[in-house]
């Protein structure tokens, strides 16, 4: 990797993290010069990073004015909730009973870790653990296309979880209980029960009633 590519990657990583964790909130106008000074870089790698973030839909660049940070509207959030429910439920249905049982055994310990980081008030740590927890359901199917689709949505999931940070901390006991219930349904190979709990869990997290969606 060349020096310029390295600088662009550093700028991209810093700006992406700032958008996902709410440092750069939706509606904020970011300027190249200010960002370059803040990151200790020249404007060229910052400009490249902004172009990449625009391609990914996180910002809109206005020449000579700056870059406007975009949010997710209600339709975006509902679409994400629908997509997650479909991906995770479908993947669990398509794997074997043996793999579901092995996944349940592994994830039981992961929920214990989630409970601990929530008790410590570590929101970023919990978000990374919960993104990985839900990814495990998709990964279990062994379908690379499903996994790629899931991973393309992961940053939107992080963005929303950070934006709902206060609500997540208030719901922490319910979230842990719901995660344990999902693992329990896997352990007993209750696929329909897993899908029903997942529908309620995702809907409650994002504030949507997903009963219309059958999986």
| Confidence band of 211 (pLDDT split at 50, 70, 90) | low
Measured distance between the N- and C-terminal CA atoms of the chain, rounded to whole angstroms: 44
Alpha helices in the chain (DSSP H): 3-20, 32-39, 43-55, 74-94, 97-119, 123-139, 144-163, 165-170, 172-187, 191-206
Torsion of CA 37, 41, 43, 49, to 10 degrees: -110
pLDDT computed for residue 4 by the predictor: 54
Which CB contacts under 8 angstroms, 24+ apart, belong to 59-66?
A: 59/19, 59/30, 65/29, 66/29, 66/30, 66/31, 66/32
Evaluate whether 92 touches 100 at the Cβ level (below 8 Å): yes
Residue 29 φ then ψ, to 5°: -100, 120
Q: Please give the pLDDT value at position 167.
A: 81
Q: Label residue 56 by pLDDT band (50, 70, 90).
A: very high
pLDDT (mean) for 174-194: 96
Q: How many CB atoms lie within 10 A of CB 166?
A: 9
Confidence of residue 64 (pLDDT cuts 50, 70, 90): confident
pLDDT at 3 over 80: no
pTM of the model: 0.85
pLDDT at 170: 84
- Contact between residue 147 and residue 139 where contact means Cβ atoms under 8 Å apart: yes
């Amino acid at each position: 990797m060349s020096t310029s590519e390295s600088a662009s990657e550093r700028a991209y990583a810093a700006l992406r993290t700032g958008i996902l964790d709410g440092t750069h909130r939706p509606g904020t106008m970011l300027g190249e010069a200010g960002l370059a000074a803040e990151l200790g870089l020249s404007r060229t790698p910052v400009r490249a990073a902004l172009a990449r973030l625009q391609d990914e839909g996180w910002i809109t660049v206005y020449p000579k004015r700056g870059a406007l940070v975009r949010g997710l509207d209600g339709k975006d959030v509902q679409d994400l909730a629908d997509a997650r429910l479909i991906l995770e439920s479908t993947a669990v249905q398509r794997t074997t009973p043996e793999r579901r049982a092995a996944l349940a055994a592994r994830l039981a310990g992961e929920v214990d870790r989630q409970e601990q980081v929530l008790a410590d008030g570590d929101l970023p740590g919990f978000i990374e653990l919960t993104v990985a927890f839900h990814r495990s359901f998709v990964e279990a199917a062994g379908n690379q296309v499903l996994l790629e689709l899931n991973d393309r949505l992961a940053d939107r999931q992080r963005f929303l979880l950070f934006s709902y940070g206060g609500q997540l901390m208030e719901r922490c006991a319910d979230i842990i209980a719901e995660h344990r219930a999902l693992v329990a349904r896997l352990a007993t190979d209750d696929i329909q029960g897993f899908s029903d709990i997942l529908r309620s869990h995702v809907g409650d997290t994002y504030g949507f009633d997903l009963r219309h969606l059958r999986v």
